[in-house]
């Protein structure tokens, strides 16, 4: 059972998520977040020392499911199956309400504020590094050809994302990235990747 303090913390994070999505990072204020959570700004600062710290907490909550997909990247098994399993989980998580909310925050102000850097350093960079580490292990074991692991990771990521862009930009997920079609699209991305990098 959650303590009263933990319940309050979660209420603050939920309120912050709403405000960040509606206003964007720069325009969001700690005053509005605390008011929406039904408390004082002093209480909010007792839990989070700054708007940046609060945003990082929000981002951690929203990316928890996506981070879990990287656990599937265990070297040494059936490479194609591992990439397909990871790819399906990754793409499904991209379209979760949590990740869509985070993308809305970042796209709303990522190029005009520090939110883009905060997002990259604490989100994509971490995941892409784990993917690169997996690629390095598979290259070292001879299951992938000699290549730069980071470049291989970015190429695979790009293949997974290639058919998601329209859905992400428009929000028309059922039209451009229906769930039933995702495994087939991921399998094709894996096939193309292994045609380029496989032994």
Q: What is the 3-state secondary structure (H, E, C) of the chain?
A: CCCHHHHHHHHHHHHHHHHHHHHCCCCCCHHHHHHHCCCCHHHHHHHCCCHHHHHHHHHHHHCHHHHHHHHHCCCCCCHHHHHHHHHHHHHHHHCCHHHHHHHHHHHHHCCCCCHHHHHHHHCHHHHHHHHHHHHHHHHHCCCECCCCHHHHHHHHHHHHHCCCHHHHHHCCHHHHCCHHHHHHHHHHHHHHHHHHHEC
Tell me the CA distances in angstroms from 193 to 71, 79, 124, one per residue in order. 20, 11, 20
Please state the pTM of the whole predicted model.
0.77
Of 8, 71, 67, 60, give the one whose Cα is nearest residue 39: 8
Looking at per-residue confidence, does 1 or 94 come out higher? 94
How much of the chain, in percent, has pLDDT values that exceed 90?
41
Q: Which residue did the predictor score with more confidence, 174 or 50? A: 50
Mean pLDDT, all residues of the chain = 86
Residue 198, beta-bridge partner list: 144
Least confident of 28-32, 120-124, 146-150: 120-124
Q: Which CATH superfamily groups domain 4-55?
A: Homeodomain-like (1.10.10.60)
pLDDT the model gives residue 46: 93
Q: What integer pLDDT is reported at residue 148 of this predicted model?
A: 98
Please compute the mean of the pLDDT values over residues 178-199 and round it to a whole number: 93
What pLDDT, in 10s, does the model give residues 83-109?
A: 999 999 988 888 877 777 777 777 766
Low-confidence winner among 50-64, 70-84, 153-167 (lowest mean pLDDT): 50-64
- What's residue 189's pLDDT? 95
Domains of the chain, by residue range, sit at 4-55, 63-197
Please check the confidence at residue 164 and state whether its pLDDT lies above 70: yes
CATH 3.30.390.50 is right for the domain spanning 63-197: no
Q: Tell me, what's the pLDDT at 39? A: 83
pLDDT at residue 2 is higher than 70? no
Residue 122 and residue 102: Cα distance in Å, rounded? 12
Q: Model confidence over 19-43: pLDDT tens digits?
A: 888 887 888 899 999 999 988 899 9
Alpha carbon distance 94, 125 (integer Å): 16
């Amino acid at each position: 059972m959650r303590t009263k303090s933990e319940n309050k913390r979660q209420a603050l994070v939920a309120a912050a998520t709403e405000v960040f999505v509606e206003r964007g990072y720069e325009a969001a204020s700690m005053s509005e977040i605390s008011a929406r959570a039904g408390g004082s700004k002093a209480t909010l600062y007792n839990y989070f020392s700054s708007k940046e710290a609060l945003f990082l907490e929000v981002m951690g909550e929203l990316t928890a499911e996506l981070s879990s997909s990287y656990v599937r990247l265990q070297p040494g098994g059936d490479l194609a199956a591992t990439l397909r399993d990871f790819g399906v989980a990754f793409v499904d998580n991209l379209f979760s309400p949590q990740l869509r909310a985070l993308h809305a925050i970042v796209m709303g102000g990522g190029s005009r504020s520090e939110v883009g850097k905060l997002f990259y350093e604490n989100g994509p960079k971490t995941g892409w590094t784990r993917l690169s580490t997996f690629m390095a292990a598979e290259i070292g074991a001879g299951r992938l050809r000699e290549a730069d692991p980071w470049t291989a990771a970015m190429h695979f990521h790009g293949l997974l994302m290639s058919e998601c862009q329209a859905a992400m930009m428009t929000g028309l997920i059922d039209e451009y990235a229906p769930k039933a079609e995702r495994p087939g699209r991921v399998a094709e991305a894996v096939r193309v990747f292994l045609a380029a990098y496989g032994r």
